[in-house]
Amino acid sequence: MDKPYNLRRNSMSFSFKDLKPLEVSFYVFLLMNLLCFSVFAQTNLSGTIKDDKGLALPGVSVRVKGASTGTVTDNDGKYSLKLTAINPVLVFTYIGYKTKEVALNGKSVLNVVLEDDAQGLDEVMVVGYGTQKKSTLTGAVSQISSEEIMKSPTVNPTNSLIGKLPGLLAVQTSGQPGADAASLKIRGVATYGNSSAIVVVDGIERPGFGDVDANEIESVTILKDAASTAIYGIRGANGVVVITTKSGKLGKPKVTYTGNISLQSYTGLPIGLDAYNNAFLQNQAYKNDNQPLPWTDAELQKFKDGSDPIGYPNVQWFDYLTRKFYPQTQHNINVSGGTKIAKYFVSAGYSFQDGIFKKFDSPYGINTVPNFSRYNFRSNIDLTLNKDLTVGIKLGGRFSNRYQPAGLLSSSAFSYDTIEGMISRILQVPAYAYPVTLPDGRIAQNPSVGLNLWNPFAVLTRYGTRNDDNNTVETTFNLEYKLGFITKGLSFKTNFGYDSYYSNVARRNANWAAYVWDRQTGAITLSPDTRNRDEPLGGINVTTGGSTNSNLQTGFYYNRSFGKHNVSGLLLGIRQLITTTSDPNNVLFTAPPKASQGAVNRLTYNYNERYFLEFNAAYNGSENFSSLEGRQYGFFPAVSAGWTLSNEPFFKKNPVLSYLKLRGSYGVVGNDKIGDNRFLFLTSYSANSNVQFGSPNSPTNYPTIFIGDTNLGNPEVTWEKGTKRNIGLEARFFSDALKLNADVFDERRKDILTPRKSGLLTFGHSYPSLNIGEVYNKGYEIELDYQGKIGQVLFGLNAQLSYAKNKIISSDEPLGIPEGLKQEGKSVGQFIGYVSDGFYTSAADVANSVKPQGITPIPGDLKFKDLNGDGVITSDDRTAIGYSNTPEYIYSFTPRFSYKGITLSVLFQGVGHVSSNLILNEQNNGQQMYPFMLNAWTPENAATATWPALHARGYTGLNNALSDFNLQNAQYLKIRNVELAWSLPKRWVESLKLSGIRVFLNGQNLYTWTKFKMYVDPENLNVVNQAFPLQALYPSSKVYNLGVNINF
């Protein structure tokens, strides 16, 4: 072996003087090339990434294709990168945008515009207890981003979802400030029990999200089929709405302010006729019944010319008490950013909605304007403590107050402490009833007009107040520890939610003295009813409520790739406790908690993103079911598969069909929302100390225990079980310009808790409800999206169509019920009524036609068909008419345009195959008349009449019974939302030392096309207290909004 000194001795040395000129030239050339290569290897690349609207994109991944070199953009969308390759290809990736590859070609500055791809295959979709890439999904899942949610200028984000997610039925039944949330149902109705979807916020099941500030929401996802909902087991059959709030992103602090100032106006209300026409039609009604006319011609003339406004007033009460426009405002400021160690999103918001009534002076200091105010705050923090351990805490809270002038809380059905009770007084008092006040300022009233038809002005200014305060704190703690030292891709995760909900309702009531003006003599007397004394506001009546909820999810996650094989899974233990008020004493948080617990599992496999298999299951249960009967826990499995044909080698790439995927799922899911009562499997016993025993002459009272008539338990009570099937197709055409998603589904829901109807009548106790109901539901969903570009103009169209129709298979019908009255074979909520056959045209027609039992109709009354052929019209002649009040069809289409920072979108949304039993008639409490009644049947207009003959108060005929004549077609098409926005030019914004300014005009519920004849918004219905008329509701609002979004 050579020695080291031999190497030194034999080492070679030289000097330039020993080289020949040609050799010198060669070495100089070689050195220059090496220097050039070295300089190139040190190239610094920089640039800015924006979206197609010119807004900077923070957090965009910038990497060299085929290498590990990369970075992310900062808060202003800027990046810098040192390159070591010659003319590399840069890959730009950002969630929600199309991935873009750009060759450097010697540039040192590279600015890139990313195109929006909200339905991109790399988009991360939120699913039960985790996330998945959209391209790997095998279930039916739809999702929208915060950008879509923010287009709607609504305080309640549930209303922002209407028409934007296929398969979601969102209906706004009221517009009352603070009580205007939309009801949410997924894929129609599959039960005649509770059909509401559950809500999950940041992984924790919660009562709702209507009071969450829309600025805090990152995305809304709906889970529809068994593959996506079976993991929720006993709770998932009605579908799941998943809300994900925003988190911080890597970059310097980004401050954003969003402000909205709006004007609201009501969409519609059934406003009665003026005094003259109302009185004229009242005379017509009494004339039809051969009764003395209530008004003389001279009195009608006074109504018409207004010559005696005290004795013969014309007060359009709704116009007098309400205003056409009323304000709404929303403000939010949030800060987000982060480092490699800590990321944060902090938000504070304020919302205010004013109400429909005018501001009137009240002698008792009552505010006559209903309103709602809410304060929101949120702090989401994620900490990366080391390469394996991350923890996070999400703290969200809100404090709200809903105020309304209100009447007396009553144990009877007619409780006036709701806005519906107040509005019912306004809408039923006819214009001729009485003036607002007498000449000396005292309250006018006339009990003869109708029962409890108090002066609406006095109701607002002198009846009372109600304040609903709601305080909420929702906390989510999460931890993830990577267990790569055991096996790559394994991690341990825990998610713990602890929430507190507290409500306080404070009521105060007053009274007033009302006076009756005699139209003939002018005499004034004190009203003989209870409105006979002035009493200021009394003491405060307070009721409280609330709950504390805890939810623990802990277990293992696994995600790993083996070449082209990709495997993932999770195994979690779940426990949820809900502690509420104790019912007897209304003491907070003392009732035994409602508990549910179990285990959930998911396994997924895909080969080269071509073939997909997935298994989801939950084994869980509830303390609401009997453990002795082995019915406390259930197993809910689902399997699904997918096949991306466009990734097959045989699928040739072409510009027409660029992507094609098939998927399907099958599984069983449960629904434990089977009633408000707990422990239905237990028989309840009651004590009685007054039962007499012994001799009749000397009885003795002994305490006894007995079972009440309705207290029998059913030890076999269980949850509903839904067997769901789904087949889906996803396709993209014309280089991804046109996207198609389509799903076909069905569900068979069994074990629906049903009151027993076919048993013996003399059982001694009421039968307990049994799990014997069954409903079949089926339908389809189609979504199309097109995006095109002409020059600098981007344009697109999104269209959605959802259809769901159900049929009751079993509901335990009473024995001997006529076929037309059976529920089985009909839709849930199907309206049942008479079938009309025109009007009776004459006395001879009345004599020769079938008539209602016990009633002698007159010409102009409705004629009905004798369906059972027994020669008389009875309730047995009713049958299915129209549809239910749940739409079978939901559709929307949204054209959109963008040009140099200016964007425009218009959302048209509608429903079909839906009916409403909100029907106006003259037999209301005040015999209020409406404009369509001006064409009621009379001998003079018999050929053109569009409404049956009117009748005097107390009419008992069938004109106003539910029939196919008066059941309303409630389908509609609305301009649900419009937004015109402008992102100010960069040079303007930078001169103000800001990052971005976006100004926008938008509106909600702007116009409605409908065949609905009853003047209200066809969506609206009084669902709060139906002891009052269905039209006694607070109307939905049209909203005209001006807003600004500023990035600092």
| pLDDT value of residue 413 | 65
| pLDDT value of residue 451 | 82
Q: Write out the DSSP string of 106-118.
A: T-SB--EEEPB-T
pLDDT grade, residue 222 (50/70/90)? very high
Other CB atoms within a 10 A radius of the CB of residue 87 amount to 12
Query: Most confidently modeled of 71-85, 90-104, 941-955?
Result: 941-955
668 strand-pairing partners: 723
Mean local confidence (pLDDT), 961-974: 96
90 strand-pairing partners: 64, 102
> What is the C-alpha to C-alpha distance for residues 462 and 656, in angstroms, rounded to an integer?
70
Lowest mean per-residue pLDDT among 77-91, 842-856, 871-885: 77-91
> What is the C-alpha to C-alpha distance for residues 307 and 301, in angstroms, rounded to an integer?
9
Percentage of the chain surpassing pLDDT 70?
A: 93
| pLDDT value of residue 55 | 73
Q: Which of 556, 560, 584 is nearest to 571 (CA)?
A: 556
Phi then psi for 244, rounded to 5 degrees? -115, 125
Question: pLDDT tens digits, residue range 1000-1021?
Answer: 999 999 999 999 999 889 998 8
| pLDDT value of residue 271 | 87
Question: pLDDT tens digits, residue range 183-211?
Answer: 999 999 999 999 999 999 999 999 999 99
| pLDDT value of residue 308 | 94
Question: pLDDT tens digits, residue range 510-539?
Answer: 999 999 999 989 899 999 888 889 999 999
Q: pTM for this structure?
A: 0.87
Question: pLDDT tens digits, residue range 1021-1037?
Answer: 877 776 677 888 899 99
| pLDDT value of residue 584 | 45
Question: pLDDT tens digits, residue range 3-58?
Answer: 333 333 343 444 444 545 545 454 544 444 444 444 444 578 889 998 776 777 87
Q: Which of 234, 233, 229 is nearest to 725 (CA)?
A: 229
Are the C-beta atoms of 221 and 125 separated by less than 8 Å? Answer: yes
> What is the C-alpha to C-alpha distance for residues 490 and 558, in angstroms, rounded to an integer?
4
Q: Write out the DSSP string of 222-257.
A: EE-SHHHHGGGGGG-TT-EEEEEE----SEEEEEEE
In the chain, what is the straight-line distance between the N-terminal and C-terminal CA atoms, in Å?
72
> What is the C-alpha to C-alpha distance for residues 95 and 120, in angstroms, rounded to an integer?
8
Question: pLDDT tens digits, residue range 397-433?
Answer: 999 999 999 988 877 667 788 888 888 888 889 999 9
> What is the C-alpha to C-alpha distance for residues 669 and 239, in angstroms, rounded to an integer?
9
| pLDDT value of residue 8 | 37
Flag whether pLDDT at 897 surpasses 90.
yes
- Overall size of the chain counted in residues: 1048
Flag whether pLDDT at 793 surpasses 70.
yes
The two three-digit tokens of residue 452, written as one number: 């409890």
> What is the C-alpha to C-alpha distance for residues 434 and 522, in angstroms, rounded to an integer?
13
Which residue has better confidence, 232 or 51? 232
Computed over every residue of the chain, the mean pLDDT equals 90
Q: What is the DSSP letter of 647?
A: G
Are the C-beta atoms of 426 and 318 separated by less than 8 Å? Answer: yes
Per the listing, tokens 């000129």 go with 21
Lowest mean per-residue pLDDT among 34-38, 329-333, 576-580, 588-592: 34-38
Question: pLDDT tens digits, residue range 117-133?
Answer: 644 566 889 999 999 99
Query: CA–CA distance from 742 to each of 640, 661, 728 (Å)?
Result: 16, 11, 6
> What is the C-alpha to C-alpha distance for residues 796 and 75, in angstroms, rounded to an integer?
29
Strands 700-707 and 565-580: unpaired
Flag whether pLDDT at 336 surpasses 90.
yes
Question: pLDDT tens digits, residue range 588-603?
Answer: 666 788 999 999 999 9
Are the C-beta atoms of 659 and 734 separated by less than 8 Å? Answer: no
Question: pLDDT tens digits, residue range 477-515?
Answer: 999 999 999 999 999 999 999 999 999 999 999 999 999
Question: pLDDT tens digits, residue range 354-404?
Answer: 999 999 999 999 999 999 999 999 999 999 999 999 999 999 999 999 999
pLDDT grade, residue 307 (50/70/90)? very high
| pLDDT value of residue 439 | 94
Other CB atoms within a 10 A radius of the CB of residue 579 amount to 19
| pLDDT value of residue 756 | 86
CATH tag, 41-114: 2.60.40.1120
List b or e across 803-813, with b for residues whose CB sees 16 or more CB atoms inside 10 angstroms. bbbbebeebbe
Q: Write out the DSSP string of 459-495.
A: HHHHSEEEEEEEEEEEEEEEEEEE-TTTSTTEEEEEE
Phi then psi for 468, rounded to 5 degrees? -105, 110
Question: pLDDT tens digits, residue range 678-689?
Answer: 888 888 888 876
Are the C-beta atoms of 970 and 915 separated by less than 8 Å? Answer: yes
The two three-digit tokens of residue 2, written as one number: 């050579």
pLDDT grade, residue 711 (50/70/90)? confident
Mean local confidence (pLDDT), 278-302: 96
The two three-digit tokens of residue 804, written as one number: 């769901």
The two three-digit tokens of residue 439, written as one number: 């000449």
| pLDDT value of residue 513 | 95
Query: CA–CA distance from 464 to each of 405, 666, 930, 1024 (Å)?
Result: 6, 55, 30, 19
